[in-house]
Amino acid sequence: MLTMGLAALGAAVPPADSGTARAQAADAAADTSREAQDGSEARALIETLSARLLAAPSATAVLEAWCAERGLSPDPRIVAVRVPGPDKPPGAARRERLAVGPDEPVRYRRVRLTCGTHVLSEADNWYVPSRLTPAMNAALDGTQAPFGRVVRPLDPSRRNRSLTMLWRPERAGMPGPAEPLFSVEAVLTAGGVPFCEVAETYTGAVLLQGER
């Protein structure tokens, strides 16, 4: 059996190149710095967008302005792509917030709000069709128009119920485009009468930067 003493074994292993080690350490430090910078940028953008959403009567209008500002698509219009799935009944608490009785029809609509090829948010929407016009109901049933654009003639107000951060602000790096960032729940009213409740989840795609 071939044996080798510790001294001989150590001599057989070439010493690490100190220049390579320093270069690797410098690259690791640069990566850490970039990730920290990306994390700080993500936090600032999330704070800006969430503040705009909470202050505005229409999430659609905010997203269209954001899409144009970030250069996410040559056409910054928001499109609501229907997501197939089972109906979600409103439940007693939601009916109370919408000020409707147990037998009043409440429709459910789930969509992905897109700008170009980017999915900026997913939204669950419960609305009272009797408080909209026939044309509005037809547009919601048969087109990809976002809810906010359809009901804009009602001059709605938006009463925010909650803002929940889903992306941890202490994380480094930029979130991926499909990663959930935060969610907002709100009730829309017209003339003080509620007609819709929304639950919106915004994704990392809102942080992307295109050509402007």
* Tokens read off for 43: 């936090």
In a domain, 19, yes or no: no
Question: How many domains does the structure of the chain reveal?
Answer: 1
Q: How far is CA 98 from CA 55, 57, 89, 104, in A?
A: 21, 17, 13, 10
In a domain, 111, yes or no: yes
Q: Are 113 and 120 in contact (CB under 8 A)?
A: yes
Helices (H), the chain: 6-12, 18-55, 59-70, 91-97, 134-142, 147-150
Edge to edge, what strands does the sheet with 118-127 contain? 78-82, 107-115, 118-127, 193-203, 180-190, 157-165
In a domain, 106, yes or no: yes
Cα maximum dimension of the chain: 93
Per-residue pLDDT, 147: 97
In a domain, 157, yes or no: yes
Higher per-residue confidence, 32 vs 130: 130
Q: What is the rounded CA–CA span in Å between residue 142 and residue 154? A: 20
186: left (phi over 0), alpha (psi -120 to 50) or beta: beta
Kindly tell me if the per-residue pLDDT of 28 is higher than 90. no
Phi (first) and psi of residue 194, to 5 degrees: -70, 140
User: What range does the domain containing 64 cover?
Assistant: 26-207
What is the amino acid identity at position 115? C
Per-residue pLDDT, 43: 92
Helix crossing, 59-70 with 18-55: angle to 10°?
140
Q: Are 120 and 206 in contact (CB under 8 A)?
A: yes
In a domain, 6, yes or no: no
- Assign residue 65 the CATH number of its domain: 3.40.1410.10
In a domain, 3, yes or no: no
In a domain, 12, yes or no: no
Residue 124 burial (C-beta neighbours within 10 Å; 0-12, 13-18, 19+): middle
Per-residue pLDDT, 15: 52
What would the mean pLDDT of 78-99 be, rounded to a whole number?
A: 96
Return the minimum-mean-pLDDT range out of 7-21, 97-111, 140-154. Answer: 7-21
The tokens 């990566």 sit on which residue?
31
Per-residue pLDDT, 38: 74
In a domain, 10, yes or no: no
What would the mean pLDDT of 5-19 be, rounded to a whole number?
A: 50
Three-state secondary structure call for residue 48: helix
Kindly tell me if the per-residue pLDDT of 194 is higher than 70. yes
Per-residue pLDDT, 1: 41
